[in-house]
Structure 1
């Protein structure tokens, strides 16, 4: 997942890709860069219980999408250990105020994996760790994680070699055929004909809670849309707000995750926007590509 940093956009080849800049709440400068090409490098994410105005929809989401994700995270974090990184007091990583997303002169990332489309080559800095965490949060929350073949390509790209193998086994158990059937998907994570399963995460911000030269713990505040779009769907698409925490390790000249966990919120008050039709939601996911995120 970072399902990345709110206002962080990454340009990885030095070209101007149409960056937009603005002022985020609190007066912080933000910037967003569009990825090159029209292909969507990230699938949609899936997260905790969706927040909606109607209790009935919220209940459906809890019973469906959330149950599967929470089960996966439980498997992932079983027996997890602290990364041993130094505290922010040692590294200056804990500030009462969020760090603005301002130009540093350091390229945030050098490339991306051709198979998964996940960014790689992050700088060995706090900024680089935050960029990695945001992009990994998006990947971990994508619909691709529900497909065994795609998941087996994503996990080695996101996690250290030591963590990837045992994690694959636990995720295969968490995303079992039986678990997928409970949210209306087949063994390959696909929705029935005429429906579209949607899971996409959008990171809003990152915070370094621990940092050392070779280890970091980064929290990624995210929102996202999750569910199945289509007539008669028992798991309608809803939105959610959550925070994903990733423990990272500097491995093979890049930041890789050792573990991740998730908790609900912080969440704003729901607006009174009229919900779009299932067809509109499905088309939006198909027509609007995802971002690569960078601090």
Structure 2
């Protein structure tokens, strides 16, 4: 996050509506192709047995041909040398062939490969750590900064973060000056990466953007700050330092955010139990 501005994650918290039901959708069909639900069932001519037989045989022949073609395509004998190269389109997460990460102290992943995929893994996991509830206490925040940022920037980063997580900012989230929630309530802050992309990569530096959704708010009786979802893109500038990727700078912007679905909002108790029962992930590209 940019350390010269207010915390970009939650400063505009009130702008995010609680997901709720949406009106039903009516489909407009092309002229002459009306929906049978409104115009009544269509009447078609009777198909003769001979025509039906020919149709079935044709379908079976096409299916056999498709299977044969697929089997032939899957055995090229070139050991993947002619496989399609990654393009600009979205690609699913897949193993790199190396052990992507190992867990270090305090549950913070470390030991990422020195590769573009390793940089993506690092950025995704750093977003999870920095978007968690540890960032809202001074002790937890400083521990994360020491672990994830380059050493020569850690002190400056701590100072900037402490200013961003001011008592006024914490109060807007229902927390006290120490980052603690009121008695009987649970503060929830969780980041869930949706995807990553490499903007720039060299041997010792990388710029990686992480598109993510998040949960933020207070769960508990009579909460004035209900748990809501957010959507942001978090961009990390990384440098290879002391055998791992470390953050040199980061910034965020809102979105892209999809249209809220039709799922009714859960109660505070349901959200609180879900967060307690479902742990997070270690991400590997």
TM-score with structure 1 setting the length: 0.68
How many pairs were matched up?
212
Identify the residue that residue 51 of structure 1 maps to in structure 2: 16
Q: Deviations over 1:153-207 (max 9, x none)?
A: 1111111101211000111111122321232201221111111111001001100
CA–CA separation in structure 1 for the residues paired with 2:172 and 2:228: 17
Task: List runs of 5+ in structure 2 lacking aligned partners.
Answer: 2-8, 21-84
Identify the residue that residue 105 of structure 2 maps to in structure 1: 114
SS in 2 for 1:135: helix
Which stretches of structure 1, 4 residues or more, deviate above 6 A after TM superposition? Answer: none
SS in 1 for 2:168: helix
Judged with a 3 Å threshold, the aligned counterparts in structure 2 of structure 1 residues 264 and 94 are, in CA distance, closer, same or farther, namely: farther
Structure of greater Rg: 2
SS in 2 for 1:130: helix
Which of 157, 162, 176 is 1:167 aligned to? 157
Identify the residue that residue 152 of structure 1 maps to in structure 2: 142
SS in 2 for 1:145: helix
Worse-matched range after superposition: 152-161 or 171-180: 171-180
**Does the CA contact (< 8 Å) of 1:200 and 1:226 recur in 2?**
yes
SS in 2 for 1:281: helix
CA–CA separation in structure 1 for the residues paired with 2:239 and 2:96: 22
Q: Is structure 2 residue 210 aligned with structure 1 residue 239?
A: no
CA–CA separation in structure 1 for the residues paired with 2:244 and 2:86: 22
Task: List runs of 5+ in structure 1 lacking aligned partners.
Answer: 2-45, 56-92
**Does the CA contact (< 8 Å) of 1:163 and 1:259 recur in 2?**
no
| Superposition map of 1:33-112 within 5 A | 47=10, 49=13, 51-53=16-18, 95-109=87-101, 111-112=102-103
CA–CA separation in structure 2 for the residues paired with 1:100 and 1:274: 29
Task: Report deviation, 1:103.
Answer: 3.1
